[in-house]
Amino acid sequence: MATITLKDLVKAYGDTEVLHHVAADIQDGEFLVIVGPSGCGKSTLLRMIAGLETVTSGEVSIGDRMVNKLEPADRDIAMVFQNYALYPHMSVRENMAYGLKIRRIDKGEINRRVEEAADILELRPYLDRKPRQLSGGQRQRVAMGRAIVRDPKVFLFDEPLSNLDAKLRVQMRLEIRKLQQKLGVTSIYVTHDQVEAMTLGDRLMVLNGGYVEQIGTPIELYDRPATVFVAGFIGSPAMNLITIEARENQLELPNGVRLEGGSDLGKVTLGIRPEHLESDGTGLIRVTAQLFEQLGANTLLHGVLESTDCEIIVSLPGHVSAVAGTVMCFSVQAQNLHIFDFQTGKRIEA
Amino acid sequence: MVENRPILSVVSHLVLILGVVIVALPIWITFVASTHDAVRMTQVPIPLLPGSHFVENFKETLFGTGLSSSAGAPVWRMLLNSMTMALMIAFGKISISLISAFAIVYFKFPFRMGFFWMIFITLMLPVEVRILPTFEVVANLGMLNSYWGLSIPLIASATATFMFRQVFLTIPDEMLESARIDGAGPMRFFWDILIPLSRTNIAALFVILFIYGWNQYLWPLLITTDSDMTTIVVSIKQMLEAAEQSPKWNIIMMTALLAMIPPVFVVVAMQRLFVQGLTETDK
């Protein structure tokens, strides 16, 4: 069990800096999810913590120990890889025991720990099988078992669920969360899937282009995104982002309609979540419908702001449908408006 | 294919039978010749059915020395020489290539690719091309008429190094990273992960290299002057040239038959692993 501290962490390949001054404190027993689009440096960051990539500058500490120069094996971590990286020529039991065997742990103790982990993960019937005789979900569990038996201070997960089918992914997601809560081990989990990030993490770190955009609980990120990027990335369907003029304490939409709110800010980006647009027949936001996606519990309306080509998505409860071209009216409550600086993309507090 | 065309089946069977006959006839004649006495073998036409002297010929060939006018070593000794040479070449080539491929793929050191290309270029320099300087070196080292002299000049292999490099490149990086997190050092990784994962490739290569070593002719001919060190392949040729005698075909054919057995045994024994290597896709 341990805290993890990242201090001013930089990674550069030659002259190209891919991670810029990342800083974070991860509490003991916390589940931190690093999320971002592909190529944002999230895997690199995880691999730096694991010791598989060198640190260009800055510090990684696990517990009270600075681990920059330590080999992965000496950092007291365990990692679950995207493709599981099980040793194909070893049985499940041998796979799980390999790290302990290298550490010259007593045979009886190894067996005890492997069987204990196998019980937790319901892998006991498969202990003597080879990885290729297992299904994707079972392999995933073996990879987790390999991490558990080591009893490490930190678990690192590198997109462990992306090779599974959708249904299994949801199930394994829950299992990982339950397991982590049961064992109480500090964990860092990398994913590009924002739903996975929201459901798993105590806190989320959103990375974009090597910069930390925001660190916070899922609800903080959802309710008060710090930047336009976070606003667009967290939440599904994505937040509507519209470039508008804010003047005379009013927000002027591209089609000239004015909403109450804001101050004299000039050009800003306005964000409204699709589920915060309420259909009330008299609202000021008039949307020309183009397409309805029926999801059962709710309906997604894809349209444009009337007499502009500014695309809008609205999430409506229940079943709704209309002919394409119908104009529908929506209103939105003032506290559900997000305003961002047009230049920097930073949130402007009302 | 599931098809029922009688003419097609007849034709394809004929083609296959013809192929079998072409391949098997020389072997059959070798076998038949090894079962007759020397006198019968000098008469025309040559026999096509086995005779009754097999055991006799077998004993004389394997343990007797009267093969030719020269006081040759018994055939069992030559088989042993060939076997030792072929095994030394096969094991030597495999070990050296495994280690050099390991170095080239998994370690960063100056001129890494330079070394790789240097190894690769030796493909252009088989024994036949460098035979004089190699002989000079082996002679100066005092390795003439020894197993070391027979095998060491043939032991480096660019082909095998290249092949193992390709095999190692197909093993995902995560395997190495996972082993590093498990605390395995480089040699541990080599023994516990790389070698078991290349097992089938090693077996396939062993088959090829053993036969390569077994069939060596020019090099052993050159550096063995002592008849105790002659290899079986060289000796068959020498038997034919026995001065002022008609060749003893029954003995020569028995020798040829014996010379065939080890390679056949290796191929048959390794076949299971060989096929596994082709069908196993998991890495």
Is B177's CB within 8 Å of A52's CB?
A: yes
Percent of chain A residues past pLDDT 70, beyond the cut: 99
CATH superfamily ID and name for A239-341: Nucleic acid-binding proteins (2.40.50.140)
Min Cα separation B276/chain A (Å): 13
Select from A72, A75, A53 the least CA-distant residue to A62: A75
Q: Are A243 and A342 in contact (CB under 8 A)?
A: yes
Q: Report pLDDT digits (tens) over B61-79.
A: 777 765 554 456 788 888 8
Q: Which residues pair with A11 in a beta bridge?
A: A19
Q: Which of B175, B188, B199 sits opposite A102 (nearest CB)?
A: B188
**Helix, strand, or coil (residue A134):** coil
Q: How far is CA A269 from CA A69, A156, A319, A339, in A?
A: 44, 36, 31, 6
Is A81's CB within 8 Å of B174's CB?
A: yes
Is B182's CB within 8 Å of A98's CB?
A: yes
Residues in chain A: 350
The per-residue pLDDT for A96 is 93
CATH superfamily ID and name for A4-231: P-loop containing nucleotide triphosphate hydrolases (3.40.50.300)
Rounded to a whole number of angstroms, the CA Rg of chain A reads: 24
Other Cβ atoms closer than 10 A to B9:
11
In chain A, which residue's Cα lies nearest the Cα of B183?
A: A73
Q: How far is CA B2 from CA A77, A153, B5, B17, B270, in A?
A: 56, 60, 10, 21, 31
- Give 3-state DSSP helix, strand, coil % of chain A, rounded to 5: 30, 35, 35
Q: What is the distance between the alpha carbons of residues B207 and A331, in angstroms, rounded to a whole number?
A: 78
Q: What is the distance between the alpha carbons of residues B208 and B190, in angstroms, rounded to a whole number?
A: 23
Q: What is the distance between the alpha carbons of residues A62 and A185, in angstroms, rounded to a whole number?
A: 12
Categorize the per-residue pLDDT at B283 as very low, low, confident or very high, splitting at 50, 70 and 90: very low
Is B282's CB within 8 Å of A88's CB?
A: yes
Q: Report pLDDT digits (tens) over A12-21.
A: 998 899 999 9
Has residue A127 got a pLDDT over 70? yes
- Give 3-state DSSP helix, strand, coil % of chain B, rounded to 5: 75, 0, 25
Is B188's CB within 8 Å of A73's CB?
A: no
Q: What is the distance between the alpha carbons of residues B248 and A43, in angstroms, rounded to a whole number?
A: 75
> What DSSP letter does each residue of B52-113 carry, written as one string?
S-HHHHHHHHHH--TTSSS-PPPHHHHHHHHHHHHHHHHHHHHHHHHHHHHHHHH---TTHH
Has residue A263 got a pLDDT over 80? no
- The pTM of this model reads 0.80
Q: What is the distance between the alpha carbons of residues B40 and B33, in angstroms, rounded to a whole number?
A: 9
Q: How confident is the model over A141-170, as a mean pLDDT?
A: 90
What are the structural domain ranges in chain A?
4-231, 239-341
Q: What is the distance between the alpha carbons of residues A155 and A45, in angstroms, rounded to a whole number?
A: 14
Other Cβ atoms closer than 10 A to A108:
8
Has residue B255 got a pLDDT over 70? yes
Is B180's CB within 8 Å of A132's CB?
A: no
Range A57-76 burial, b when 16+ CB lie within 10 A, else e: ebebbbbeeebeeeebbebb
Q: Please give the structure tokens belonging to residue A210.
A: 């090597």
Termini Cα distance of chain A:
41
Categorize the per-residue pLDDT at B277 as very low, low, confident or very high, splitting at 50, 70 and 90: low
Q: What is the distance between the alpha carbons of residues B90 and B157, in angstroms, rounded to a whole number?
A: 10
Q: What is the distance between the alpha carbons of residues A250 and A264, in angstroms, rounded to a whole number?
A: 8
In chain B, which residue's Cα lies nearest the Cα of A131?
A: B282
Select from B68, B35, A82 the least CA-distant residue to B78: B68
User: Which residues does A245 contact at the CB level (< 8 Å), separation at least 6?
Assistant: A251, A252, A266, A267, A268
Is B182's CB within 8 Å of A71's CB?
A: no
Least confident segment among A71-80, A195-204, B43-52: B43-52
The answer to whether the A4-231 and A239-341 domains have the same CATH topology is no
The per-residue pLDDT for A31 is 94
In chain B, which residue's Cα lies nearest the Cα of A51?
A: B181
Average pLDDT, chain B: 86
* Residues of chain B positioned with their CB less than 8 A from the CB of A73: 180-184
Q: Which of B179, B180, B283 sits opposite A88 (nearest CB)?
A: B283
Interface of B with A in 160-179 (CB under 8 A): 172, 174-175, 177-179
- Check the CA dihedral A60-A62-A64-A69 and report its sign: negative
Average pLDDT, chain A: 90
> What DSSP letter does each residue of A294-327 carry, written as one string?
E-SSEEEEEEEETTS--EEEEEEES-----TT-E
The per-residue pLDDT for A12 is 92
Select from A341, A182, A343, A338 the least CA-distant residue to A270: A338
Select from A323, A310, A246, A314 the least CA-distant residue to A283: A314
Select from B125, B83, B123 the least CA-distant residue to B216: B83
Range A210-223 burial, b when 16+ CB lie within 10 A, else e: bbbbbbbebebbbe
Q: Which of B181, B182, B197 sits opposite A88 (nearest CB)?
A: B197
* Residues of chain A positioned with their CB less than 8 A from the CB of B175: 85, 87
* Residues of chain A positioned with their CB less than 8 A from the CB of B182: 73, 98-99, 102, 146
Nearest 5 degrees, angle CA B274-CA B276-CA B277? 65
Q: In angstroms, how far apart are the furthest CA atoms of chain B? A: 75
Q: Which residues pair with A294 in a beta bridge?
A: A299
B282 interfacial to chain A (CB closer than 8 Å): yes
Min Cα separation B94/chain A (Å): 20
Q: A125 burial class (0-12, 13-18, 19+ CB within 10 angstroms)?
A: exposed
The per-residue pLDDT for A191 is 93
Select from B267, B245, B242, B231 the least CA-distant residue to B86: B231
Interface of B with A in 176-215 (CB under 8 A): 177-184, 188, 192-193, 196-197, 199
Q: How confident is the model over B24-51, as a mean pLDDT?
A: 84
B75-279 has CATH 3.40.50.300 classification: no
Least confident segment among A53-57, A201-205, B248-252: B248-252
Q: What is the ipTM of this complex?
A: 0.81
Has residue B234 got a pLDDT over 70? yes
Chain A interface residues (partner B, CB cutoff 8 A): 50-52, 71-73, 77-79, 81-83, 85, 87-89, 98-99, 102-103, 131-132, 146
The DSSP H or E segment spanning A346 is none
Percent of chain B residues past pLDDT 90, beyond the cut: 34
Categorize the per-residue pLDDT at B280 as very low, low, confident or very high, splitting at 50, 70 and 90: low
The per-residue pLDDT for B50 is 84
Nearest 5 degrees, angle CA A19-CA A20-CA A23? 100
The β-bridge relationship of strands A4-13 and A57-62 is antiparallel
The per-residue pLDDT for B93 is 94
Q: What is the distance between the alpha carbons of residues B88 and B219, in angstroms, rounded to a whole number?
A: 15
Is B182's CB within 8 Å of A102's CB?
A: yes
Q: How far is CA B275 from CA A103, A171, B94, B139, B209, in A?
A: 36, 39, 19, 42, 17
Substitution target in A77, A98, A113, A155 with the highest count of B β-carbons within 10 Å is A98
The per-residue pLDDT for B61 is 78
The per-residue pLDDT for B278 is 61
Rounded to a whole number of angstroms, the CA Rg of chain B reads: 24
Has residue B128 got a pLDDT over 70? yes
Residues in chain B: 283
Q: What is the distance between the alpha carbons of residues B143 and B135, in angstroms, rounded to a whole number?
A: 10
| Contacts by A241-250, CB closer than 8 A, 24 or more apart | A241/A269, A241/A270, A241/A271, A241/A340, A242/A269, A242/A270, A242/A271, A242/A272, A242/A305, A242/A310, A242/A312, A243/A267, A243/A268, A243/A269, A243/A270, A243/A342, A244/A268, A244/A269, A244/A270, A246/A339
Q: Please give the structure tokens belonging to residue A280.
A: 């009330």
Least confident segment among A203-212, A300-309, B89-98: A300-309
Least confident segment among A99-113, A165-179, B246-260: B246-260
Is A98's CB within 8 Å of B192's CB?
A: yes
Q: Which residues pair with A270 in a beta bridge?
A: A242, A339
Has residue B53 got a pLDDT over 50? yes
Other Cβ atoms closer than 10 A to B283:
12
Q: Please give the structure tokens belonging to residue A61.
A: 């500490």
